[in-house]
Amino acid sequence: MASFTLPARSGPTTDDASTQGARSPRTTTSTPKQDEKKARTRSEYRPDIDGIRGAAAIMVMGFHAHVPGFEGAYIGLDLFFVVSGYVITGLLMHEYQRTGGIKWGAFYARRARRLIPAKATMLIGVLILSYLVATPTGSQQQTAKSAAAAAGFVSNFFFWQQDDIDYFGLEPGTGVLLHTWSLSVEEQFYLALPLAIILAFVLARVLRVPTVASLLVTSIALAGASLWLAITWASSNPDAAYYLPITRAFEFLLGVALALIVRKVRPAEDLREVMGLAGAAIIAFVLWKPMPVDGYPSYWALLPCVAAALLVWAGVGGPTAVTRLLSTKFLVGLGLVSYGWYLWHWPLLVLGESLNLAPPPLWARIALVMLGLLLAYLSYRYIEGLFYKRSGAVTKSKTWGSRRVIISGVVAMSTVASLSTGALALANDQATTPRWETVAQQLNDVPEMPSECLGESSFIPDKPNQCNLVPFDEDRPTVVLWGDSHAWMLIPAIEAAAADKDVNLVAFVMGACPPLKAPEDVRLACARNNEMALKFVTKRSGRKKPPIRVIASASWPTYRHSPEEVVEFDERPDGGNDAYIERISELFEEGAPRLFEELSLINADIDVVGPTPFIPRNAPLCEARARPFSCDVDRDLAIEGEAATVSWLRDQMSGFTENSRFIDVTPSLCDEDTCYAEADGVVNFFDDNHISAALSRQLKSYFTPSIRGLIDQFESGEQARPKDSTPVTSDATPAVSAAP
């Protein structure tokens, strides 16, 4: 192809593509012809496109900062992708039709000038901040590795392979550079775009059709294939659907197709007014009614993509009511600095969580986002402006040609990758010190279970199963541990209480799965796990069977209320997201009493463990460093609604056998006023709501009476004795609380 230099805008915008005009001549004097060219270029600049960027940036920042009302605002990225495809294609097509060729070297040089300086500065800054703020027990290492991936424009592939990072369910303090996945997708689009254009060019020659028409058909065909793949992978491989460029390509290609269509199709003004209002209405509706995030983008992403296309198309040919709104100085100004704002806001939010060891309060999150905006302005003014100017002027333009700019960009990113390697070495060295090795052991001080009970990368079962903690023998009594992760964390205590005792230990435990009896038409894995447990207990509770004793435990307050009412410190228990916890809570409301009622008819003793505390911060990490805040927490915050939950549990136990027990382990974690992260040299939790295995073993005395009673019952040949039918209150119940 013939080569040429891509044009740049003369009006203010964050990217070349807010205009399809040619570059204004950089001369001190101008001819009438040049003045006409400048006027034409200025008239082709579209501030409303920068306004779309500004509005999309507000959406993304609000979503990432967890601002109420922005739960569906993650669609801002979809808007960015469509706009990027539109504006870049508009520039390339303008130059192709004007000169008959595309100078790809100049194109990539302009992309390098625009993207690399600000990105390299951010990556280096984040590496430094991570070393100062994050812990060397995993966070620093992950940040260093992801910085190298971001420098190589492949961070989307990096995070695709990280099983412990979820964009929609991110654990606090992790994924410092997770946001760079979308930058990598966009950069990969720039690399792949020439292939699509070359393919269209070849097809045009072979089929003897116009090149632009061939490119339009090619873009639509590729977009259809990409969308089909995104929908197909939504359920079978959702992470790939979210992160990979081939499943995101349809969003960019929609913008590409739109840029080609608008060159020939100019709707009437009335229709453009309707299009603009329709696009704004779609976005407002999606913000009001957030779309499902499972398997996203899938077909759901068509809504924001179509909205973006309508907004862009509405402004072709003249202003409309919506484009006038988008052209306000406020939104245009945000659009100008949106790239730098996006670069900085996310690391500040995540490092703020790392420093606080918990999500900061809303006001602090908003302050961090605004700090990101300040850094974006400084970057736009003093870093990006050194290499890329809105007029298209570039410093030392006569010396720094396209080849040198591209080589310099490669060198800059290689330097960042080298610094990332050094940061990784520093983190690994610090992690091997005795202090941090101890912390690492505390973070991994979790209950051990047989490997056949676990998934490939989990500590707790994530599928329904009967887990035999010791070899099972039909002819001896059985202890059944039943519940969610708050039951699972008691395994060391029960194993210690049953040490050298001739009993079976069986666990039916799953994360975020409390004991309940769900309706038959509910096919959740949690429902199946409870079905298996109930069937197992019922089968072995007959008079001719060795006795069985059930120990039920769960994060009871979590399921008795909605997550917003019970979960403190913006944490999510058991790794469950809000929607899942809400679904389980709905089932728990009727399913738990139904299960307790069935258990009261079974000839078996049932022990119920009361609620255990949550603390605001990860205990091992909090205790490892001197901080201006306490790692401990007031008891009324650590156990939300404790008195009401205990009373409810005792009421549910009213029909249990007389030897059933209510077990309260909180005296080992809390006094009357405070729950402690550490006591007597033992860290009580391995995270922020699960007790450590070391502490759990110290709780064996709470369960020893249950194990002893089961053995005595087996040796004497007695059966569990039903309780009389007199209702039992929480103040006068035979279910005596255990004491250490």
Residue-wise pLDDT for 449-498, tens only, equals: 998 998 766 789 988 999 999 999 999 999 999 999 999 999 999 999 99
**Range 432-448 average pLDDT:** 93
Is 266 found in the same domain as 346? yes
292: in domain: yes
pLDDT band at 169 (very low <50, low <70, confident <90, very high): low
* Coil, helix or strand at residue 120: helix
User: Is the pLDDT confidence value at 740 over 90?
Assistant: no
Higher pLDDT pick, 393 / 311: 311
207: in domain: yes
Q: What is the pLDDT of residue 720?
A: 66
Is 465 found in the same domain as 370? no
Which range of residues forms the domain containing residue 534?
Answer: 459-716
Q: Per residue in 582-617, pLDDT tens?
A: 889 999 999 999 999 999 998 889 999 999 999 988
User: Is the pLDDT confidence value at 28 over 60?
Assistant: no
Cα→Cα distances 157→248, 251, 388, Å: 13, 18, 29
pLDDT band at 543 (very low <50, low <70, confident <90, very high): low
pLDDT band at 156 (very low <50, low <70, confident <90, very high): very high
Query: What's the CA angle centered on 163, arms 563 and 553, to 5 degrees?
Result: 40
Q: What is the pLDDT of residue 536?
A: 95
pLDDT band at 200 (very low <50, low <70, confident <90, very high): confident
40: in domain: no
What is the distance, to the nearest Å, from the Cα of residue 671 to the centroid of all Cα atoms in its chain? 36
Is 489 found in the same domain as 380? no
**Range 351-368 average pLDDT:** 91
Is 340 found in the same domain as 397? yes
Domains held by the chain: number: 2
Q: Per residue in 284-296, pLDDT tens?
A: 999 999 988 888 9
Is 607 found in the same domain as 551? yes
Q: What is the pLDDT of residue 173?
A: 65
Is 408 found in the same domain as 541? no
243: in domain: yes
Q: Per residue in 619-672, pLDDT tens?
A: 999 998 877 788 999 999 999 899 999 999 999 999 999 999 999 999 999 999
32: in domain: no
How large a percentage of the chain has pLDDT more than 70? Answer: 85
Cα dihedral across residues 121, 122, 126, 127: positive or negative: negative
**Range 72-85 average pLDDT:** 95
337: in domain: yes
Is 480 found in the same domain as 334? no
Is 544 found in the same domain as 405? no
Higher pLDDT pick, 399 / 410: 410
pLDDT band at 371 (very low <50, low <70, confident <90, very high): very high
Is 89 found in the same domain as 137? yes
Query: What's the CA angle centered on 415, arms 414 and 417, to 5 degrees?
Result: 65
Burial class (CB in 10 A: 0-12, 13-18, 19+), 264: exposed
DSSP labels, 280-324: HHHHHHHHHSPPP-TT-SGGGGHHHHHHHHHHHHHTTTS--HHHH
**Range 57-68 average pLDDT:** 95
4: in domain: no
Is 466 found in the same domain as 407? no
pLDDT band at 545 (very low <50, low <70, confident <90, very high): confident
User: Is the pLDDT confidence value at 313 over 60?
Assistant: yes
Terminal CA-CA length for the chain: 83
Is 502 found in the same domain as 404? no
Give the lowest-confidence range in 180-189, 583-592, 713-722.
Answer: 713-722
Domain boundary among 412, 431, 450: 431
Please name the helix (run of DSSP H) or strand (run of DSSP E) that holds residue 404, with its range, or none: helix 402-431
User: Is the pLDDT confidence value at 321 over 80?
Assistant: yes
Is 645 found in the same domain as 512? yes
Q: What is the pLDDT of residue 125?
A: 96
123: in domain: yes
The CATH number of residue 586's host domain is: 3.40.50.1110
Give the lowest-confidence range in 78-87, 114-123, 502-511, 723-732.
Answer: 723-732
Q: Per residue in 673-687, pLDDT tens?
A: 999 999 988 999 999
User: Is the pLDDT confidence value at 382 over 80?
Assistant: yes
* Coil, helix or strand at residue 512: coil
Q: Per residue in 224-281, pLDDT tens?
A: 999 999 999 998 999 999 999 999 999 999 999 999 999 888 899 999 999 999 999 9
Q: Which residue in 132, 145, 138, 133 sits closest to 442, CA to CA?
A: 138
Please name the helix (run of DSSP H) or strand (run of DSSP E) that holds residue 346, with its range, or none: helix 338-356
**Range 65-79 average pLDDT:** 94
Q: What is the pLDDT of residue 722?
A: 66
Query: Whole-number mean pLDDT of the chain?
Result: 85
**Range 113-139 average pLDDT:** 92
